[in-house]
Chains A and B, each alone.
Chain A
Amino acid sequence: MPTLLTSKIIKEEFVEKISELSGQDVHICMQCGTCSGSCPMWEEADFSIRKIMHFAKFGMEEKLENLNTYWLCASCHTCTVRCPRGIDIARVMEALRQLTLRKNINFIEPSKIPSEKIKEYPQIAMVAGFRKLTS
Chain B
Amino acid sequence: MKINYYPGCTLKTKAKNLENAAISSMQILGIEMEEIERWNCCGAVYSLTDDDLIHQVAPVRNLIRVKEQGGDKLITICSMCYNTLARANLLMQQDKEKRDTINRFMDEEIDYFGEVQVIHLLNFLRDAIGWKKIREKVKVPLADLKIAVYYGCTLQRPPEVGIEPIGSYELMTELLESLGATVVDFPAAAYCCGSYQVVGNEGAAQNAASIILDTARVAGVDALGTTCPLCEFNLAKNQDALIQEQKIFKKIPTFYFTQLMAVAFGLESRTCLFELNDPASVDLLTSKKYIGLT
- Residue numbers of A with Cβ under 8 A of B are 20-23, 40-41, 43-44, 68, 71-72, 74-78, 80-81, 88, 90-91, 94-95, 98, 107-108, 113, 120-133
Contacts of B15 in A (CB 8 A): 122
Contacts of B41 in A (CB 8 A): 123, 127
Contacts of B198 in A (CB 8 A): 121, 125, 129
Q: What is the CB-to-nearest-CB distance from A7 to chain B, in angstroms, rounded to a whole number? A: 28
Q: What is the CB-to-nearest-CB distance from B145 to chain A, in angstroms, rounded to a whole number? A: 26
**CA gap between A40 and B212 in the complex, in Å:** 10
> Provided the pairs A108-B200, A122-B230, A124-B10 are in contact, do residues A132 and B237 lie with their beta carbons within 8 angstroms?
no
In the complex, B124 has a CB within 8 A of chain A: no
- Among B188-196, B217-225, B262-270, the one that faces the other chain is B188-196
In the complex, B138 has a CB within 8 A of chain A: no
Q: What is the CB-to-nearest-CB distance from B275 to chain A, in angstroms, rounded to a whole number? A: 15
**CA gap between A75 and B18 in the complex, in Å:** 24
Contacts of A98 in B (CB 8 A): 49, 52
> Provided the pairs A127-B44, A129-B197, A133-B200 are in contact, do residues A94 and B153 lie with their beta carbons within 8 angstroms?
no
**CA gap between A113 and B10 in the complex, in Å:** 19
In the complex, B80 has a CB within 8 A of chain A: yes
> Provided the pairs A121-B233, A131-B44 are in contact, do residues A126 and B199 lie with their beta carbons within 8 angstroms?
yes
Q: Is the CB of A127 within 8 A of B43?
A: yes
Q: Using a Cβ–Cβ cut-off of 8 Å, how many residues does chain B contribute to the interface with A?
A: 46
Q: Is the CB of A74 within 8 A of B237?
A: no
- What are 21 inter-chain pairs, A to B, with CB distance below 8 A? A20-B50, A21-B50, A23-B50, A40-B191, A71-B200, A74-B196, A80-B157, A91-B48, A95-B48, A120-B233, A122-B10, A122-B13, A123-B10, A124-B81, A124-B196, A124-B229, A128-B199, A131-B43, A131-B47, A132-B45, A133-B199
> Provided the pairs A21-B51, A75-B48, A78-B153 are in contact, do residues A123 and B197 lie with their beta carbons within 8 angstroms?
no
Beyond A40-B211, A41-B201, A72-B197, 17 additional pairs, beta carbon < 8 A: A21-B49, A40-B192, A40-B194, A44-B204, A74-B196, A76-B153, A77-B158, A78-B192, A120-B237, A122-B229, A123-B41, A125-B195, A128-B196, A128-B199, A128-B230, A131-B45, A131-B47
Q: Is the CB of B196 within 8 A of A132?
A: yes
Q: Is the CB of A113 within 8 A of B199?
A: yes
**CA gap between A75 and B200 in the complex, in Å:** 13
**CA gap between A126 and B199 in the complex, in Å:** 7
By beta carbon, the residue of chain B nearest A131 is B45
Contacts of A127 in B (CB 8 A): 9, 41, 43-45
Contacts of B191 in A (CB 8 A): 40
**CA gap between A88 and B48 in the complex, in Å:** 10
> Provided the pairs A21-B49, A80-B157, A128-B44 are in contact, do residues A44 and B199 lie with their beta carbons within 8 angstroms?
no
**CA gap between A41 and B164 in the complex, in Å:** 25
Q: Is the CB of A80 within 8 A of B43?
A: no
B104-135, CB < 8 A from A: none
